[in-house]
């Protein structure tokens, strides 16, 4: 009995434990109304953050730090430091969100942010004001929304799926950029979004450096800025360069990417814009293009400030004026299409060279005037396509449209217009086979030989012949009917009539039974002997039982 109760108790306890483990686990955030200073003599780990002095690593786990407009959200020691992110972490309301202890030089000071979590720095005067030489975000999520952005004296790197979304104060022309790196800005296999108001976007400045580089590789970049979305180089650093490879650049800023020196674009790069924007420009150097088949530049590029071109096919949706002193060149193999009502005009000293194709509306052949190369070609506006009703069961038909601006027509295949077969549910047949037939093209399917069975149309009688026919059990096809003979015949001989009765002889007399037949007598003897034997057997068995 004790064992039974014990087993029941253990089972109940196990059930409670399993149920508890299956319940959702709530993660509680640690909240503090002050920052973290790991350099302080009285520093101690608390819930939500720990410091490893051996590796200079600060781990944040679902911690929120809130200030009152002064101080630093996190103050780190000099040298190479790391922040590991777990869960959602927030720094808000400080003079500076992230900083290293001040020194006469930032050289050797670096910050690496990594981990599976996120860090949001908001409502601070600076996200970081330049105490770091280099900042690297490795696979983590970093969000900033502050008066001034992330400032460093060296390089900024995002890699391995990092997600960066940085904003600075709207309307403040003195605000520092979302990312201001006095070296390089390099984005690999990551996402970067930049939002600025009156100031420009991300900037690889390079003051006092030999060069600076703005580099995007296999990344998605979105520029939402009032001026240039991304810049490399400065007046103090004329050797600012840009390298873009297999990336998508969405340009919502006034202009796209600027290189004070040169730019190189490689592979399937896409520039996305809403209208006729300058998406890439160099100041003194060349733009080198080595594009893949899927490259798509939805805007124009400007080499050295004067040479303008569309590197890929483009549809011009708004009127455009070529600025004074600039030359628009359409390369061989590229088509520039002017939408209805759109024209290109030229300011003083500008010109248009067409080595490719310029298409203008058929009713606006003067929408653009070229100064060299190929003359513009007309294009038509085909919108309302009407079916020609020539589709078959298996082939698409065609449809035709009349140009909105003239009488020219365009006929094209109406993809997906094939009718498909419509097979009749009723069988079609001939003398040998049956099948289902398409009501449109008369194609046959499920063709097979008939399966006949006899059907009696009229039973025969002694006085009247019947009829029957063969009919297919599948489709109902019927052969011609054949006769069923009478069930008997009537013949007259003298005064007697044959009825087919086998007991009437040929003379018309009733057949007499044969005599001298001993078969019946023999049968009777056999039955009599068998009965006697059975009786004798019964008597003997009864006596044995009685004894």
pLDDT in tens, 436-481: 999 999 999 999 999 999 999 999 999 999 999 999 999 999 999 9
Report the percent of the chain where pLDDT is more than 90: 75
Going through 403-547 in order, the beta strands assigned E by DSSP cover: 409-413, 428-429, 433-437, 444-449, 452-458, 466-472, 482-484, 491-493, 496-498
pLDDT over 80 at 13, yes or no:
no
User: What pLDDT shows up at residue 535?
Assistant: 58
Q: Yes or no: say if 98 and 123 are a contact pair by the CB < 8 Å rule.
A: no
Mean pLDDT computed over 158-164: 98
Given a cut of 70, whether residue 537 has pLDDT beyond it is no
CB atoms within 10 A of CB 458: 13
**Average pLDDT rounded to a whole number, residues 165-169:** 93
Distance between CA 398 and CA 418 in Å, rounded? 10
Q: Mean pLDDT for the chain? A: 87
List Cβ neighbours of 444 (8 Å cut-off, separation of 6 or more). 428, 435, 436, 437, 438
Summarize pLDDT for 234-268 with one digit per residue, the tens.
988 999 999 999 999 999 988 899 999 999 999 99
Residue 485 has pLDDT above 90, yes or no: yes
**pLDDT beyond 90 at 231:** yes
Query: What is the four-CA torsion angle of 190, 94, 152, 53, rounded to 10 degrees?
Result: -80
Nearest by Cα to 221 from 242, 199, 198: 242
Distance of CA 394 to the CA centre of its chain: 29
Question: What's the rounded Cα separation, in Å, for the pair 384 and 318?
Answer: 23
Q: Tokens 């044969």 correspond to what residue? A: 514
Torsion angle of alpha carbons 60, 201, 163, 278, nearest 10°? Answer: 180
Average pLDDT, stretch 196-200? Answer: 75
Q: Locate tokens 């809130």: which residue?
A: 66
Percent above pLDDT 70 for the chain: 82
Reported as a pLDDT band with limits 50, 70 and 90, residue 516 is very low
Per residue in 338-348, pLDDT (tens digit) is 998 999 999 99
**pLDDT tier for residue 314 given thresholds of 50, 70 and 90:** very high
Asked whether the predicted pLDDT for residue 134 surpasses 50, the reply is: yes
pLDDT over 70 (residue 5): no
Among 210-214, 503-507, 533-537, the range scoring the smallest mean pLDDT is: 503-507
Both tokens of 536, joined, read 């004798």
Confidence of residue 170 (pLDDT cuts 50, 70, 90): confident
Which is higher by pLDDT, 196 or 162?
Answer: 162
Region class of 494: left (phi > 0), else alpha (psi between -120 and 50), else beta: left
**Looking at the predicted structure, is the pLDDT value of residue 519 above 80?**
no
**pLDDT of amino acid 538:** 55
Least-confidence region, from 36-45, 168-177, 189-198, 385-394:
168-177
Per the CB < 8 A criterion, the answer to whether 376 and 358 are in contact is: yes
What distances in angstroms separate CA 335 from CA 248, 361, 483, one per listed residue? 22, 14, 84
Lowest average pLDDT, out of 57-66, 116-125, 354-363, 513-522, goes to 513-522
Q: Provide the 10 A C-beta neighbour count for residue 178.
A: 30
24 vs 482 pLDDT, higher one: 482
Task: List the end-to-end C-alpha distance of the chain, in Å, as a whole number.
Answer: 66
Q: Is the dihedral of CA 40, 46, 50, 53 positive or negative?
A: positive
Q: How far apart are CA 47 and CA 50, in angstroms?
A: 8
Per-residue pLDDT band for 88 (boundaries 50, 70, 90) equals very high
pLDDT surpasses 50 at 512: no
For residue 521, which phi and psi values (nearest 5 degrees)? -65, -45
Residue 547 has pLDDT above 70, yes or no: no
Instruction: For residues 285 and 265, give the distance between their C-alpha atoms in angstroms, rounded to a whole number.
Output: 14
499 pLDDT higher than 70:
no
pLDDT band at 102 (very low <50, low <70, confident <90, very high): confident
- Parallel, antiparallel, or unpaired: how do β-strands 398-402 and 385-387 relate? antiparallel
Q: Does residue 139 carry a pLDDT above 80?
A: yes
Strand-pair category, 163-168 with 141-146: parallel
């Amino acid at each position: 009995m004790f064992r039974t109760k014990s087993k029941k108790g253990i089972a109940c306890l196990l059930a409670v434990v399993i149920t508890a483990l299956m319940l959702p686990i709530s993660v509680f955030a640690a909240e503090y109304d002050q920052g973290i200073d790991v350099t302080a003599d009285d520093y101690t780990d608390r819930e939500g953050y720990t410091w490893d002095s051996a590796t200079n690593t600060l781990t944040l786990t679902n911690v929120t730090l809130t200030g009152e407009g002064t101080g630093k959200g996190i103050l780190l020691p000099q040298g190479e430091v790391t922040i590991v992110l777990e869960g959602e972490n927030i720094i808000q309301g400080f003079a500076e969100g992230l900083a290293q202890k001040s020194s006469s030089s930032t050289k050797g000071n670096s910050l690496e942010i990594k981990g599976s979590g996120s860090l949001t720095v908001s409502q601070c005067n600076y996200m970081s004001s330049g105490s770091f030489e280099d900042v690297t975000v490795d696979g983590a999520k970093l969000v900033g929304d502050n008066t001034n952005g992330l400032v460093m004296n060296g390089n900024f790197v995002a890699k391995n799926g990092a997600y960066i979304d940085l904003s600075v104060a709207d309307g403040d022309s003195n605000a520092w950029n979302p990312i201001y790196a006095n070296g390089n800005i390099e984005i690999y296999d990551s996402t970067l979004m930049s939002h600025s108001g009156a100031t420009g976007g991300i900037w690889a400045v390079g003051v006092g450096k030999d060069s600076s580089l703005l580099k995007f590789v296999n990344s998605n970049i979105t520029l939402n800025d009032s001026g240039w979305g991304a810049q490399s180089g400065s007046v103090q650093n004329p050797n600012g360069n840009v390298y873009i490879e297999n990336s998508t650049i969405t340009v919502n800023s006034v202009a796209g990417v600027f290189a004070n020196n040169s730019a190189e674009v490689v592979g399937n790069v896409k520039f996305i814009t809403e209208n006729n924007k300058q998406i890439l420009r160099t100041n003194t150097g060349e733009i080198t293009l080595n594009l893949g088949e899927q490259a798509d530049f939805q805007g124009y590029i400007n080499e050295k400030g004067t040479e303008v071109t569309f590197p890929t096919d483009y549809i011009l949706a708004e009127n455009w004026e070529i600025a004074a002193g600039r030359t628009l060149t359409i390369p061989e193999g590229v088509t520039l299409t002017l939408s209805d009502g759109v024209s290109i005009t030229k300011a003083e000293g500008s010109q248009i060279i067409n080595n490719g194709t310029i298409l203008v509306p058929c009713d606006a052949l003067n929408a653009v005037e070229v100064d060299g190369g190929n003359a513009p070609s007309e294009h038509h506006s085909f919108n309302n396509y009407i079916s020609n009703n020539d589709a078959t069961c298996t082939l698409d038909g065609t449809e035709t449209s009349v140009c909105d601006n003239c009488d020219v027509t365009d006929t094209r295949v109406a993809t997906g217009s094939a009718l498909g077969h419509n097979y009749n549910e009723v069988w079609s047949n001939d003398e040998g086979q049956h099948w289902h037939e398409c009501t449109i093209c008369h194609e046959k399917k499920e063709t097979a030989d008939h399966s006949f069975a006899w059907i009696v149309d009229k039973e025969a009688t002694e006085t009247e012949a019947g009829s029957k026919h063969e009919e297919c059990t599948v489709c109902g096809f019927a052969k011609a009917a054949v006769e069923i003979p009478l069930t008997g015949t009537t013949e007259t001989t003298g005064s007697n009539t044959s009825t087919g009765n086998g007991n009437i002889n040929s003379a018309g007399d009733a057949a007499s039974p044969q005599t001298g037949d001993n078969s019946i007598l023999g049968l009777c003897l056999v039955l009599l002997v068998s009965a006697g034997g059975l009786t004798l057997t019964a008597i003997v068995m009864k006596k044995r039982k009685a004894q």
